[in-house]
A and B are shown apart, each in its own frame.
Chain A
Amino acid sequence: MVTIENLHKKFGKNEVLKGIDLTIKDGGIFAVLGPNGSGKTTLIKSILGMVIPHEGTIAINGQSIKNNWQYRKEIDYLPQIANFPGNLTVKELIKMIKDLRDKPANDDELIAYFKLEPFLDKKLVNLSGGTKQKVNLVLTFMFDSPLVILDEPTSGLDPISLIRLKDWIQKEKAKGKTILITSHIMSFVEEVSDDIIFILEGKIYFKGTVAELKQQTKQTSFEHAIATILTENHV
């Protein structure tokens, strides 16, 4: 369980998060939505401890994450932009992360699943954006952690890989994992997520299921419901 209380974060004068209170229960898929620059990635990076908040606390399973690093053993994270050290090959990178985590990993299954075998000995600089994203997905899913955080998992993926990704996410959910996703692809979000957290200007605007959101905005389609929120708030 992730508990966030009164989270504030500024970058210089730009106040990105203005008091976020959020509880994410164990199990299920949660989508974090919001317009560009609303603070989705900042929120996720705060949970991971990559961004240090100015105010507020974050606790995972009741334990504060401040000055703590052990808790990251229980988190798998997919970064938004796959920035890998370019001089490594895919195989070396996977091996290195495995050494680092020192946990059993099902990388072979994932490599086969995303059809990455031909790229194993290629250097990461020479890979296309979509292939890099697949490597990114393998690195994220190969460990069996109870909390999975995916920042824009669909970016650069072809339709077949996208379907595979959705199936895999459902499989992970069936194992009882908590999955946190950010995405701008509304159809993807509607399809996979159980609960939606809508962030607007650094605050939580809405939290609930897709059906509740449609009801609240009196719209029939999910995409229009989101658009209604945005136009009502002049974003």
Chain B
Amino acid sequence: MYFLFYLLLGFTLLFLNSDLSGAVITMMNVIIVLVPLIGTIFGVMYYYDSKEFTELLLAQPVKRSSIFLGQYFGVAISLAASLVFGLGIPFVAYGLFQSAAIFDFTMLLITGVFLTFIFTALAFNIALSNENKIKGFGFAILLWLFLAVIYDGIFLMALMHFQEYPLDKFALIATMGNPIDLSRILIILKLDISALLGYTGAVFKNFFGTNFGSTLSLILLSVWVILPVWRISAKAKKKDF
């Protein structure tokens, strides 16, 4: 389903835009909001749905961390594969390999994959900490809403409020605290569209330059994956069933 959705999205956007790099930008906006949402919902749903299965496995001679990490990677990898193939096929069909947009597009897919892994991991963390299904779902959706929408709002308000002060450092740190912002900047840096850069992007670019900035944000995204995954295995070790 998820795969078909991206396939359809890819073809529609390309049809409407008829220009590859234009479609990449539109796609960015979609990916940045939608991928985390899907990752969160699927992660939480899968965990609660496979609870019986987990309990069955726990009594078998299987390592705890391999049960939970196995489930996590199972969900994350299949979601990521749907994304890559769903978007990849239409773009390839439209002659991606002949166009200059190929690197931008690759970057887009990489961040999409990162976001999938990050948000599925966060969702698993939430599900592991909440026995109550409804509560777990609620927290997961709130987390997505917070990082995708509210965070930016607070960030913007803080910038307005303290505009007399030098805000470069604050802006940098605040961006690193949100994987969605981080991915956005990463893609925009890659696309090199200063009009879309915004304040943080500009600071980022000034501070690090395009190449170093990209590397740094990739590293930070990896940290965003590693930390929640590490917590999944730590949490799973201590949980009672």
Contacts and interface: CB of A to CB of B under 8 A. Distances in A.
* Co-assembled chains A and B: yes
Contact of B52 (A72, A84, A100): A84
Contact of B50 (A45, A49, A69, A85): A85
B60 A97 contact: yes
A69 B59 contact: no
Interface residues of A, number: 23
B161 interface: no
A223 B59 CA distance: 32
A97 B60 CA distance: 8
Interface string A64-82: 0001011111010101000
B53 interface: yes
Nearest to B51: A83
Contacts of B61: 69-73, 100-101
B164 interface: no
Nearest to A11: B240
Given A73-B61, A100-B60, A100-B62, A50 B240 contact: yes
Interface of B: 50-53, 55-64, 237-241
Contacts of B240: 11, 45, 50-52
A45 B58 CA distance: 10
Nearest to B240: A51
Interface string A35-58: 000000000010011111000000
Nearest to A139: B56
A77 B240 CA distance: 17
Contacts of A45: 240-241
Given A45-B241, A72-B61, 16 more contacts: A11-B240, A50-B55, A50-B240, A50-B241, A69-B61, A69-B62, A69-B64, A70-B61, A71-B61, A77-B59, A83-B51, A83-B56, A85-B53, A100-B61, A100-B62, A101-B61
